[in-house]
């Protein structure tokens, strides 16, 4: 593969295609047909400068758990992989890698997303929160505390994802009922089968007696 | 050295020590280990179910950006036995580049015949899988009691014959198999961070592969993300990672991706069989006949365990005939999965019981009570605490408890009487048994420091069973402390040997060693203190939070007592005693197996289901269980294990199946979208009653609760709709087919 020079935003698509040998090699990676198609025809709207990055690594800035952190990733790198492989933020786990199991769940501007199914470059400018944000100055947030107290985890590999999903529900609606909180966990899967104990955690967080 | 009779902590509900670390994402699993200069590895696998390699061309891969190293597992000419069989591993500076490198490799194959369906394999005349042997039968067994054909069903008021079965499923560990490997500067010592159920075994497997000396490989596993019997050694991917780390002189991470995890990370063998059973009008079973088969991959037989049939009822059915065939298929090799063979055996016994009960017009609970395995009286006389000596009593007691819990007498109805609407309700039950005995060596070291801190250490691992907390509870119990006062260090092979965590053996295998270590440490502490206080040793004793000096009635806070020991610390090692009979060389541990640990449990489970007869969708609406496991160490974690085992069983009953395509021989659902696992909304409230039998000692609890669940669900569906769904998973399609068959019959 031919390495392209990248600016902070990466090379523009025009620059990218103008590179002679580079164009042919790189087009295969980005999915364009390797042909003589004029660059202008490939651009949305037929002209003008469209900022683009890749295919080489580009510098990105992510706001993770309240801090701006910089790294350099190829545009194809998912938010999950950027967090885990490039920034050593490993509370979000890679399990299905296909937006099914929820182990990679993070909050993006307060909303839950599967970080395995979003590109890191798309997450720039948004506040990213992982389970690690729920532990500060030696003190854990009420949700992980409830998980620990009710033993709503065994191997624990899925747990940070569940915790983040639950945090998002309760932050959006502190008065959420146990049924509403449970609905917020339906995008997550636990293989050890700790749902019964999760319900105990949910009821305790909702200050509701479980019958 | 018995367990304390009055127990302050043991048997109570205690929060796991590392719960907050795990829940806040701060716990570092092997998958989370990032080392400086670490490379990422990926594996190339066979796309064909059966082939030989013609050529491997890695030239383009080696010129690909980021390429660092390649390790050939198989060479040209090698045979590949399933889609997913490993060929080579490559590593690169980033995961993305590693994938590019993998795509640049060209392999030519000679594709050969394959078979991936059990029934196809059973009827094939020749061995087409490439597995060893002349035909497709890996293992077979034929057994019959005397004169079975003439006497088995002679006195039967009714017989029932039908087919039952359950599919191949995957372990689906959430943290995939794999490890991070790193050599020291001189390339002499290897350290791996592995996701493993056997820390010392994993180190030993690598040591043997690299021909190193003892101690030169360190395996670390601080946290591990799921292991149900498939993670007992380095595996080929672990060896590949360590080879690449050595050739590149850089740390290498190789964790399987999801498709690999599902296609090579271990399966539970399938089981399909035709079963005939007969009983008298009082409900005494006269005979049980089974002709069954299943697959555990190309070369696997043992974990199918068909030889146990008719399972729980083996000792109570007078006439038994059994024919089983374990067939080869071009799929991955089975690995022991949570109670290997037992859930399949429950499927082939518990369901036919309910079908017979319907023919005899008997309540299935009554039928079971009439056929419980009798207490083994010889065993009972030799040792009243063992399972065989009291199994009938255990089941009878448990059934009496669960009968009330689920209001069986009011809620149970005859099969097919599940309500007037389109959604039918039903109840079904199943019994199960498991061993769960522990063994050594599990050396444990307890250190009491002069500053009052206490450290317990072993090489064992925590799969999610809260093993650290088990250690802390036992140590704290003896020292009069709280579990949070104890620092537990596990998951490092340099701490000595330990037994693999499989078969529900960790808690019973380690508890006696932990108890021994802490009792010796307490003794050493009190001896040192007595010398300093100038009193007799026997005048000092430990009470909650204090050391009591009987000489002057002084109560010395534990921390002060440590400070006054006069030595920096006291330390003691505990383990199972290795006593051998000099003549037979048999290991003697009678006292330990009967008082500190034990084996053999019985359990009973009842499912309530709601079946939508228009869509075929089954929902398990409530679930009850009564389970014994001897002396419970941590009731909170124990109940969680039981509920979790049931949920795994519900997935097995309703959702899970590895689906293989007959044409391509590939698994079509090596993922989590089409390989279904239930979420919280799919799972019922589960009511767990632990039948505490502390006098028996510690017994493991991991396997038992997952055994009978699928069979109980099958019976509940039958009870709801009056039609038997023969094969699990009990999908809507199969439920509708069963309903149609019933309607088609007069």
Q: Residue B448 has what pLDDT?
A: 98
- The neighbour count for residue B528, using CB atoms within 10 Å, is 21
- Report yes or no: A148 at the B interface, CB cutoff 8 Å: yes
Q: In residues, how long is chain A?
A: 211
In chain A, the residue whose alpha carbon lies closest to the alpha carbon of B684 is A196
In chain A, the residue whose alpha carbon lies closest to the alpha carbon of B64 is A1
Task: Give the DSSP letter of residue B375.
Answer: P
Contact A74 B96 (CB under 8 A): yes
The mean per-residue pLDDT over the stretch B482-492 comes to: 98
Task: Chain B: give the shortest CA distance to residue A51, in Å.
Answer: 23
Contact A92 B25 (CB under 8 A): yes
The pLDDT of residue B744 is above 60: no
Q: Which range (B125-129, B234-238, B259-263, B463-467) has the least confidence?
A: B125-129
Query: Which has the higher per-residue pLDDT, B350 or A38?
Result: B350
CB under 8 A, 24+ apart: contacts of B368-373: B368/B395, B368/B399, B368/B429, B368/B431, B369/B396, B369/B399, B370/B282, B370/B283, B370/B284, B371/B283, B371/B284, B371/B285, B371/B313, B371/B316, B371/B317, B372/B316, B372/B396, B373/B312, B373/B313, B373/B314, B373/B315, B373/B316
CA torsion, ordered B454, B459, B462, B463, to nearest 10 deg = 180
Q: Pick from A139, A151, A128: which is nearest to A64 by CA?
A: A128
Question: Which residues have C-beta within 8 Å of that of residue B644, sequence separation ≥ 6?
Answer: A154, A192, A193, A194, B705
**What tokens appear for B170 in the block?**
């995957």
- Report yes or no: A100 at the B interface, CB cutoff 8 Å: yes
Count CA atoms closer than 13 A to B82's CA, side-chain side.
Answer: 25
Query: What is the pTM for the complete model shown?
Result: 0.93
In chain B, the residue whose alpha carbon lies closest to the alpha carbon of A192 is B644
Q: Residue A22 has what pLDDT?
A: 37
Report the SS3 class of residue B469: helix
CB A83 within 8 A of CB A108: no
Contact B680 A199 (CB under 8 A): yes
- Report yes or no: A116 at the B interface, CB cutoff 8 Å: no
Contact B19 A91 (CB under 8 A): no
Q: Residue B577 has what pLDDT?
A: 72
Confidence of residue B132 (pLDDT cuts 50, 70, 90): confident
Under CATH, what is the fold of the domain B344-436+598-744? Aldehyde Oxidoreductase; domain 4 (3.30.365)
Contact A195 B25 (CB under 8 A): no
In percent, the amount of chain B with pLDDT more than 70 equals 97
CB B692 within 8 A of CB B632: yes
Task: Chain B: give the shortest CA distance to residue A92, in Å.
Answer: 7
For B665-709, the pLDDT digits (tens) are 999 999 999 999 999 999 999 999 999 999 999 999 999 999 999
Among the partner-chain residues B25, B26, B672, the one whose CB lies closest to the CB of A98 is B672
CA torsion, ordered B592, B597, B602, B607, to nearest 10 deg = -170
Q: How far apart are CA B160 and CA B171, in angstroms?
A: 33
Contact A195 B24 (CB under 8 A): no
What structural domains does chain A harbor? 1-56 (no CATH), 58-131 (3.10.20.30), 133-205 (1.10.150.120)
Under CATH, what is the fold of the domain B19-26+438-595? Aldehyde Oxidoreductase; domain 4 (3.30.365)
Task: Chain A: give the shortest CA distance to residue B546, in Å.
Answer: 27
Q: How far apart are CA B638 and CA B629, in angstroms?
A: 9
Contact A74 B644 (CB under 8 A): no
- Residue numbers in B near A76 (CB within 8 A): 96
**What tokens appear for A138 in the block?**
């030696």
Among the partner-chain residues B40, B225, B679, the one whose CB lies closest to the CB of A157 is B225
> Strands (DSSP E) along B103-154, which ranges?
106-111, 137-144
Q: How far apart are CA B691 and CA B394, in angstroms?
A: 9
Contact A91 B465 (CB under 8 A): no
Number of H helices, E strands in chain B: 20, 31
Task: Chain A: give the shortest CA distance to residue B429, in Å.
Answer: 20
CB B30 within 8 A of CB B194: yes
Confidence of residue B509 (pLDDT cuts 50, 70, 90): very high
Cis peptide before A79 (omega within 30 of 0): no
Contact A160 B640 (CB under 8 A): no
For B76-103, the pLDDT digits (tens) are 999 999 999 999 999 999 999 999 999 9
In percent, the amount of chain A with pLDDT more than 70 equals 76
In chain A, the residue whose alpha carbon lies closest to the alpha carbon of B94 is A85
Q: How far apart are CA B230 and CA B237, in angstroms?
A: 13
Contact B641 A154 (CB under 8 A): yes
Q: Residue A54 has what pLDDT?
A: 81
Mutate to test the interface with A, among B13, B31, B33, B174 (most CBs of A within 10 A): B174
Among the partner-chain residues B29, B65, B647, the one whose CB lies closest to the CB of A195 is B647
Taking one residue from A and the other from B, the number of pairs with CB-CB distance under 8 angstroms is 191
Mutate to test the interface with B, among A1, A191, A198 (most CBs of B within 10 A): A191
In chain A, which among 56-85 make CB contacts under 8 A with chain B? 74, 76-77, 81, 84-85
Task: Chain B: give the shortest CA distance to residue A144, in Å.
Answer: 5
**What tokens appear for A209 in the block?**
């007696």
Among the partner-chain residues B465, B648, B685, the one whose CB lies closest to the CB of A193 is B648
Burial of B38-59, coded b for 16+ CB within 10 Å and e otherwise, reads bbbbbbbbbbbbbbbbeebebe
- Report yes or no: A191 at the B interface, CB cutoff 8 Å: yes
The mean per-residue pLDDT over the stretch B335-345 comes to: 96
The mean per-residue pLDDT over the stretch B122-133 comes to: 80
Mutate to test the interface with A, among B12, B19, B60 (most CBs of A within 10 A): B19
Match 């490092």 to its residue by tokens: B492
Contact A182 B680 (CB under 8 A): yes
For B41-52, the pLDDT digits (tens) are 999 999 999 999
Contact A186 B679 (CB under 8 A): yes
- Residue numbers in A near B465 (CB within 8 A): 154
Mutate to test the interface with B, among A2, A104, A155 (most CBs of B within 10 A): A155
Phi-psi region of B305 (alpha: psi -120 to 50; beta: other; left: phi over 0): left
- Residue numbers in A near B227 (CB within 8 A): 155
CB B2 within 8 A of CB A69: no
The list of chain A residues with pLDDT below 70 reads 1-50
Task: Chain B: give the shortest CA distance to residue A36, in Å.
Answer: 25
For B568-595, the pLDDT digits (tens) are 999 999 998 766 666 776 665 555 666 7
Helix/strand/coil percent split, chain A, to 5: 40, 15, 45
Q: Residue B371 has what pLDDT?
A: 98
Q: Residue B566 has what pLDDT?
A: 92
Match 């959702």 to its residue by tokens: B655
Considering only CA atoms, give the Rg of chain B. Answer: 28
Q: How far apart are CA A153 and CA B641, in angstroms?
A: 10
Count CA atoms closer than 13 A to A32's CA, side-chain side.
Answer: 20
Task: Chain A: give the shortest CA distance to residue B486, in Å.
Answer: 17
For B101-122, the pLDDT digits (tens) are 999 999 999 999 999 999 999 9
Q: Do domains B19-26+438-595 and B344-436+598-744 have the same CATH topology?
A: yes
Domain ranges of chain B: 19-26+438-595, 344-436+598-744
In chain A, the residue whose alpha carbon lies closest to the alpha carbon of B670 is A96
The mean per-residue pLDDT over the stretch B625-631 comes to: 96
Instruction: Give Cα B325 distance to the centre of its chain.
Output: 24
Contact A182 B671 (CB under 8 A): no
Mean pLDDT, chain B, rounded, equals 95
- Report yes or no: A182 at the B interface, CB cutoff 8 Å: yes
Contact B645 A193 (CB under 8 A): yes
- Residue numbers in B near A120 (CB within 8 A): none
């Amino acid at each position: 593969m031919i390495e392209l020079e990248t600016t902070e935003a990466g090379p523009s698509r025009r620059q990218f295609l103008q590179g002679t040998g580079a164009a042919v090699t790189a087009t295969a990676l980005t999915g364009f047909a390797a042909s003589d198609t004029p660059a202008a025809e490939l651009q949305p709207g037929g002209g003008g400068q469209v900022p683009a990055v890749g295919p080489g690594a580009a510098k990105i800035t992510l706001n993770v758990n309240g801090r701006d952190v910089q790294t350099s990733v190829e545009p194809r790198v998912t938010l999950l992989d950027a967090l885990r492989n490039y920034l050593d933020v490993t509370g979000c786990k890679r399990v299905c890698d296909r937006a099914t199991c929820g182990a990679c769940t993070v909050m993006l501007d307060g909303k839950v997303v599967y970080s395995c199914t979003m590109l890191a470059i798309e997450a720039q400018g948004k506040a990213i929160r992982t389970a690690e944000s729920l532990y500060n100055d030696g003190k854990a947030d009420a949700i992980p505390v409830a998980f620990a107290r009710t033993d709503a985890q065994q191997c624990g590999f899925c747990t940070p994802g569940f915790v983040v999903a639950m945090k998002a529900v309760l932050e959006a609606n502190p008065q959420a009922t146990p049924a509403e909180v449970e609905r917020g966990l339906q995008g997550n899967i636990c293989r050890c089968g700790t749902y019964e104990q999760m319900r105990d955690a949910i009821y305790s967080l909702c200050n509701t007696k479980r019958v | 050295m018995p367990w304390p009779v009055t127990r302050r902590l043991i048997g109570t509900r205690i929060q796991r020590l590392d719960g907050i670390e795990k829940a806040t994402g701060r716990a570092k699993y092997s998958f989370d280990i990032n080392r400086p200069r670490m490379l990422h590895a990926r594996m190339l696998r066979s796309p064909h179910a059966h082939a030989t390699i013609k050529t491997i061309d890695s030239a383009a891969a080696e010129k690909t950006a980021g390429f660092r190293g390649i390790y050939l597992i198989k060479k040209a000419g090698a045979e590949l036995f399933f889609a997913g069989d490993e060929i080579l591993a490559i590593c690169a500076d980033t995961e993305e580049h590693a994938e590019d490198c993998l795509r640049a490799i060209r392999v030519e194959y000679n594709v050969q015949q394959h078979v991936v369906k059990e029934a196809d394999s059973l009827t094939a005349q020749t061995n087409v899988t490439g597995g060893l042997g002349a035909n497709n039968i890996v293992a077979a067994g034929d057994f019959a009691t005397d004169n079975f054909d003439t006497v088995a069903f002679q006195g039967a008021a009714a017989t029932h014959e039908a087919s039952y079965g359950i599919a191949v499923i995957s372990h689906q560990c959430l943290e995939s198999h794999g490890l991070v490997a790193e050599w020291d500067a001189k390339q002499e010592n290897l350290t791996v961070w592995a996701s493993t159920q056997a820390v010392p075994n994993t180190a030993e497997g690598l040591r043997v592969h690299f021909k190193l000396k003892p101690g030169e490989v360190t395996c670390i596993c601080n946290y591990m993300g799921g292991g149900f019997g498939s993670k007992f050694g380095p595996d080929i991917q672990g060896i590949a990672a360590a080879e690449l780390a050595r050739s590149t002189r850089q740390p290498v991470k190789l964790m399987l991706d999801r498709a690999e995890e599902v296609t090579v990370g271990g399966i539970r063998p399938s089981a399909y069989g035709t079963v005939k059973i007969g009983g008298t009008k009082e409900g005494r079973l006269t005979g049980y006949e089974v002709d069954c088969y299943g697959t555990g991959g190309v070369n696997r037989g043992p974990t199918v365990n068909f030889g146990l049939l008719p399972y729980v009822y083996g000792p109570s059915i007078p006439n038994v005939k059994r024919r089983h065939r374990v067939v080869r298929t071009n799929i991955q090799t089975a690995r022991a999965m949570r109670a290997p063979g037992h859930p399949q055996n429950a499927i082939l016994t518990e369901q036919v019981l309910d079908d017979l009960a319907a023919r005899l017009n008997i309540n299935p609970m009554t039928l079971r009570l009439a056929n419980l395995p009798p207490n083994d009286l010889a065993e009972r006389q030799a040792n009243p605490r063992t399972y065989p000596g009291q199994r009938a009593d255990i089941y009878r007691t448990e059934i009496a408890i669960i009968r009330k819990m689920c209001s069986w007498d009011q809620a149970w109805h005859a099969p097919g009487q599940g309500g007037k609407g389109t959604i039918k309700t039903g109840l079904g039950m199943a019994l199960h048994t498991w061993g769960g005995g522990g063994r050594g060596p599990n050396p444990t070291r307890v250190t009491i420091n002069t500053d009052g801190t206490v450290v317990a250490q072993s090489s064992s691992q925590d799969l999610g069973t809260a093993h650290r907390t088990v250690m802390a509870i036992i140590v704290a119990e003896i020292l009069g402390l709280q579990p949070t006062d104890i620092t537990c260090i596990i998951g490092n092979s340099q701490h000595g040997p330990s037994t693999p965590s499989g078969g529900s053996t960790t808690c019973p295998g380690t508890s006696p060693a932990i108890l021994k270590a802490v009792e010796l440490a307490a003794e050493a502490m009190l001896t040192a203190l007595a010398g300093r206080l100038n009193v007799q040793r026997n005048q000092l004793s430990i009470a909650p939070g204090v050391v009591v000096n009987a000489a002057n009635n002084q109560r010395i806070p534990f921390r002060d007592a440590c400070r006054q020991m006069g030595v920096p610390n006291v330390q003691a090692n505990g383990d199972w005693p290795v006593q051998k009979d000099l003549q037979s060389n048999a290991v003697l541990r009678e006292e330990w197996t009967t008082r500190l640990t034990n084996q053999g449990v019985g359990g009973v489970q009842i499912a309530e289901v709601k079946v939508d007869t228009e869509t075929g969708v089954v929902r398990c609406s409530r679930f009850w269980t009564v389970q014994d496991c001897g002396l419970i160490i941590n009731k909170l974690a124990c109940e969680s294990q039981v509920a979790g085992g049931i949920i795994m069983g519900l997935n097995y009953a309703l959702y899970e199946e590895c689906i293989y395509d007959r044409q391509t021989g590939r698994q079509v659902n090596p993922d989590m979208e089409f390989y279904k696992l239930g979420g919280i909304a799919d799972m019922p409230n589960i009511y767990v009653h632990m039948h505490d039998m502390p006098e028996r000692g510690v017994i493991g609890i991991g396997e038992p609760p997952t055994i009978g669940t699928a069979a109980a669900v099958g019976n509940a569906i039958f009870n709801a709709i009056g039609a038997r769904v023969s094969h699990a998973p009990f999908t809507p399609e199969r439920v509708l087919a069963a309903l149609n068959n019933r309607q088609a019959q007069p």
